Amino acid sequence: MTALVLDGKSLARKIEAELAAKVIELTSKAGGTKPVLATILVGDDPASATYVKMKGNACERIGMASLRVILSQSTTTDELLAEIDKLNADPRVHGILLQHPVPKQIDERKCFDRIAQEKDVDGVTALGFGSMSMNEPAYGSATPAGIMRLLLDYGVSIEGKHAVVVGRSPILGKPIAMMLLNANATVTICHSRTQGLPQLIGLADILIGAVGKPRFIKGEWIKDGAIVIDAGYHPGGVGDIDLSAGTDRYAAYTPVPGGVGPMTIAMLMAQTVESAEKSLV
């Protein structure tokens, strides 16, 4: 069979074009006020700086404004909380993104949860996760939301399928599991203590690789006809799933790069525009 390529790069371009038109209309209605995404970068991690720059560039592409807050490596939890409080109180800011990871001395969860829910466009707060899990209105974690949009736009059926999620991080593994469950999949969550991992992966109709280890999931573990979603990205342009033996056995798969990654930023932009619509109109 020839696998369907779930091309996140092309879909993200389409979404950005739609958002750009929406931002023009929104800005006009708001008397020239643009949607604003605030990004907080703590420390000097080069990868994090690159990701923040990419998000700022995406804002520019669709006509939004970005507000960059850069804090030193020695920043304390209290200092970061104070910055978040300022952004929460600023009516010009419609979305807040705290770049992960932060330096070790900072209580990251406490800082994530300080973000006002109406500005939590990256879907990182515990309150937002709980609301999303209960099928209540909330902004979803950006990467899981991007995966769901990718499946939807490519017409991949979820209802009744067995989805296996490898990874349980609070901003990827857990939220995508809940989103799939809300879409009526039967969901198995695997993690570092899971026994018989290859056998469980072999049962997956939909496989989500979200473990954060390069080529950890072997292609021979995956059954024929599976939908293969790789949410990992590592040096050398490889993901969490080893697809070096080929993809012809699968019904569909996400390439790395160009699959899930572009959708993460697209959904962050979309949710910021949605927040601005609620605030400005």
Given the residues 22, 55, 161, 174, the one annotated as active site: 55
Cα torsion 267, 127, 103, 189: sign: negative
Identity (one letter) of the amino acid at 31?
Answer: G
Active-site residue, 99 included: yes
CB 226 within 8 A of CB 250: yes
Whole-angstrom Cα distance, residue 99 to residue 48?
Answer: 7
Active-site residue, 34 included: no
> And the tokens for 150?
């990718």
* Total length of the chain: 281
Active-site residue, 223 included: no
Given the residues 113, 120, 122, 205, the one annotated as active site: 122
**Among candidate residues 222, 226, 218, the one with its CA nearest the CA of residue 250:** 226
> And the tokens for 257?
């790069």
Whole-angstrom Cα distance, residue 22 to residue 3?
Answer: 34
Say if residue 105 is exposed, middle or buried (CB neighbours under 10 Å; 0-12, 13-18, 19+).
exposed
Given the residues 99, 120, 161, 205, the one annotated as active site: 99
Active-site positions read 55, 99, 122
